[in-house]
Structure 1
Amino acid sequence: MKANKYKRLTLKERVVIETLLQENKTKSYIAKRLNRSRSTITREVNKWGGDYNATLANWSAKDDYLNKRNKDKINTYNRLKIFVYRGLLSGWSPEQISGRIKLKYPNDPVMSISYEAIYMHIYAHRQARLNRKLIALLPYQKSQRRRANAKSKRGVKIKDQTSIDDRPKHIENREEIGHWEGDLVIGKGQQSAIGTLVERKARYTFIVKLKSRKSATVRKGFAKEFNQIAPLFTKSLTYDNGMEMAEHKQFTNHTSMPVYFAHPYSSWERGTNENTNGLIRRFFPKGTDFSKVTEKELKIVQEKLNNRPRKVLGYRTPKEVFYSEIVNHKIKNMMLM
């Protein structure tokens, strides 16, 4: 009797595995349902430590098959690969993944990787189906990538910066309202942009219509938004190193908000803002010409984001958390009178 040649599990089979696991079916039941050996199903499920994701497992299996002779660190260590791929599926950038893994596994040499190594893994075979899918998960998809240290200089460094290293430590714990993160979302051909401002505790978002990316335009647009709300909510702003914030001193004079600058290529230090920009991209995908998007359209999206329940907020909305701080502040002041 001729032995059947082993065939690798398909994505369809893996979807069945995930579905049946969610229904608490046994591995024996799943094996019988798929006409597979129990050992095949057991190996497949145990590899993921009880938290099985069909899409992730299928990508990983294809990658393992294609990279048996040329494994980088992500392909060598499966639990590292799972962490990186899950981060990408969650909309995290390589910088955020690298920063987060350092916080979660500070003393584990396997669970340690630079954001540049993640990019190198993604772009190693950029025409392959898996790599095209990984590139599509990046916040800013490009068919090619240059190394960060190969980039040309961006001109003069912003003067008189205050580093995020000097930002008061209590801001990090998100217990106090009024500390913001800011950035630009760039439009088609680098010719247009919108400003995004996100409050760290409440995740409340402002989307700012900008006529240009000039520092004076950005400074005035941001200051206008902040000057419409109470000083309780305008305590600090953390920004990246974009030259659009070159007039940070004038911004501070107009708003009383100190500006702290994140380290270069460390967008995970403004993770709330980066995640919010990803949400905004669902409404305004790459290639959008923001000069043709009206302020009314931006505010409609802003309202949707601020009324979106967030798991991190206990499924309250940013608007609910933001305005509850106003109520609590008023009550506290009344008690002190």
Structure 2
Amino acid sequence: MAPNRLRAPAQAERAPGASSRYLQEADRLHIADRLRDKASVRAIAAELGRSPSTISREIRRNRHPGNGQYRPYAAQARADGRRPRPKPGKIGENAALRDFIQDHLDKRWSPEQICQALRRRFPARPEMHVVHETIYQALYVQGRGELRRELTRALRTGRARRKPHRQAASRQPRFTHPMVMISERPAEVEDRAVPGHWEGDLIIGKDGGSAIGTLVERSTRYVMLVHLPTGRSAEHMRDALQATVQALPAHLVRSLTWDQGSEMAAHHAFSVATDIPVYFCDPGSPWQRGSNENTNGLLRQYFPKGTDLSVHSRDHLDAVAVELNGRPRKTLGWETPAERLRTLLAA
């Protein structure tokens, strides 16, 4: 094991009051430091609590054109330059565009209908093209004055102010027993050095009416399929998972990582019955179960989307798992998951 894997790298410190929505200067300095350490994009993203695509895009945009090095201070200066507020709106700066929109709102056209009409009426004039979100912003954002506020009565909702969507932080607790998040998972899980740590998920059938559970062991990529012939309620999931993991030696089932799907509402009862801790990914973060996401893609060769998955028997699921575990994997040095697991069992 490489020495620099023995301790987690320092986390980037966020300035007090800084918005977590945008990368800050401390984040960019952290990226530069970790790139010098030859850390991967995914590792940097995990340390900053960001999507890998965010980090990848940030690095790509702000590399020096000559030497290719990431420049954190130049990146911060560009970001600061893009963000001054208030910015003049497109509708407020274009009287013809504003009059067209106001006239059609008076006729009770929806913002989306207006946007399409603008593109048809003025195909060669991009300054007359807007998306419907721009119209909503002009109506709802206080102080802009781009469109008359009384025009909101012409909208089908009739609302004079926008109804906000719930944010992740304001959600009610999903399960009766608190979730243990992936950030609290032992470090040994991340580097795949210790076998027995599994990732799990569901693949869903036609109209959400059927499902198959999928389990992937992180170090060997060994796959097990969970039979759910009678549904995917929390109780069905708990019992089926328990029966599946009990087929393995205890030292090869050390933990389970899952997303926040309602099928895991009985996670505490599963942990009590099996002595296996369950860790939950952050919302909207499928890369935190990368091995399982990749495997689910492979399994769609056998279980296409839009089909009824309840027709597959336990024997058929076992046969599919055997076939998948018999495929050589590049990440395993062209060994198969079955060969890797046999080595562990023999040891």
The structure 2 residue matched to 1:307, chosen from 312, 326, 341, is 326
Provide the C-alpha distance between the structure 2 equivalents of 1:106 and 1:172, rounded to a whole number of angstroms.
24
Secondary structure of the structure 2 residue equivalent to 1:237 = strand
Deviation of 1:101 (Å): 4.3
Question: Which position in structure 2 is the counterpart of 1:232?
Answer: 251
Deviation by residue 1:189-243 (Cα, 9 ceiling, x = unmatched): 1000010010000000111110211001001101101111111111000000001
Provide the C-alpha distance between the structure 2 equivalents of 1:277 and 1:215, rounded to a whole number of angstroms.
21
User: Given the alignment of the two structures, is residue 206 of structure 1 paired with residue 224 of structure 2, yes or no?
Assistant: yes
The structure 2 residue matched to 1:249, chosen from 268, 280, 295, is 268
The structure 2 residue matched to 1:217, chosen from 236, 239, 252, is 236
Deviation by residue 1:129-164 (Cα, 9 ceiling, x = unmatched): xxxxxxxxxxxxxxxxxxxx9699998512310000
The structure 1 residue matched to 2:174, chosen from 133, 142, 157, is 157
Deviation of 1:259 (Å): 0.3
Deviation of 1:316 (Å): 0.3
Amino acid across the alignment from 1:307: G
Amino acid across the alignment from 1:219: R
Gap change, CA 1:157 and 1:298, over 3 Å in 2: same
Provide the C-alpha distance between the structure 2 equivalents of 1:249 and 1:319, rounded to a whole number of angstroms.
30
Secondary structure of the structure 1 residue equivalent to 2:305 = coil
The structure 2 residue matched to 1:274, chosen from 289, 293, 303, is 293
Gap change, CA 1:214 and 1:103, over 3 Å in 2: same
Aligned length: 197
Provide the C-alpha distance between the structure 1 equivalents of 2:55 and 2:326, rounded to a whole number of angstroms.
30
Amino acid across the alignment from 1:324: T
Q: TM-score, normalised by structure 2?
A: 0.53
Provide the C-alpha distance between the structure 1 equivalents of 2:221 and 2:174, rounded to a whole number of angstroms.
30
Correspondences of 1:90-105 after superposition (within 5 Å): 99-101=51-53
Question: Which position in structure 1 is the counterpart of 2:75?
Answer: none
User: Given the alignment of the two structures, is residue 322 of structure 1 paired with residue 341 of structure 2, yes or no?
Assistant: yes
Provide the C-alpha distance between the structure 1 equivalents of 2:315 and 2:335, rounded to a whole number of angstroms.
25
Secondary structure of the structure 2 residue equivalent to 1:283 = coil
Secondary structure of the structure 2 residue equivalent to 1:182 = strand
Question: Aligned residues: percent identity?
Answer: 40
User: Given the alignment of the two structures, is residue 185 of structure 1 paired with residue 203 of structure 2, yes or no?
Assistant: yes
Larger proportion of helix: 1
Provide the C-alpha distance between the structure 2 equivalents of 1:99 and 1:272, rounded to a whole number of angstroms.
16
Provide the C-alpha distance between the structure 2 equivalents of 1:169 and 1:264, rounded to a whole number of angstroms.
21
Gap change, CA 1:150 and 1:257, over 3 Å in 2: same
Moved over 3 A (4+): 98-112, 149-156
Provide the C-alpha distance between the structure 2 equivalents of 1:160 and 1:222, rounded to a whole number of angstroms.
19
Gap change, CA 1:171 and 1:105, over 3 Å in 2: farther
Deviation of 1:99 (Å): 3.8
Deviation of 1:323 (Å): 1.2
Gap change, CA 1:297 and 1:166, over 3 Å in 2: same
Secondary structure of the structure 2 residue equivalent to 1:180 = strand
Provide the C-alpha distance between the structure 1 equivalents of 2:210 and 2:167, rounded to a whole number of angstroms.
22
Deviation of 1:291 (Å): 1.3
Provide the C-alpha distance between the structure 1 equivalents of 2:346 and 2:301, rounded to a whole number of angstroms.
32
Provide the C-alpha distance between the structure 1 equivalents of 2:311 and 2:287, rounded to a whole number of angstroms.
30
Provide the C-alpha distance between the structure 2 equivalents of 1:151 and 1:270, rounded to a whole number of angstroms.
25
Superposition CA RMSD, Å: 2.8
The structure 2 residue matched to 1:260, chosen from 266, 279, 282, is 279
The structure 2 residue matched to 1:286, chosen from 295, 302, 305, is 305
Provide the C-alpha distance between the structure 1 equivalents of 2:192 and 2:238, rounded to a whole number of angstroms.
25
- Structure 2: 5+ residue stretches without partners: 1-44, 64-69, 71-163
Amino acid across the alignment from 1:252: S
Q: TM-score, normalised by structure 1?
A: 0.54
Secondary structure of the structure 2 residue equivalent to 1:195 = strand
Secondary structure of the structure 2 residue equivalent to 1:282 = coil
Amino acid across the alignment from 1:247: A
Amino acid across the alignment from 1:194: I
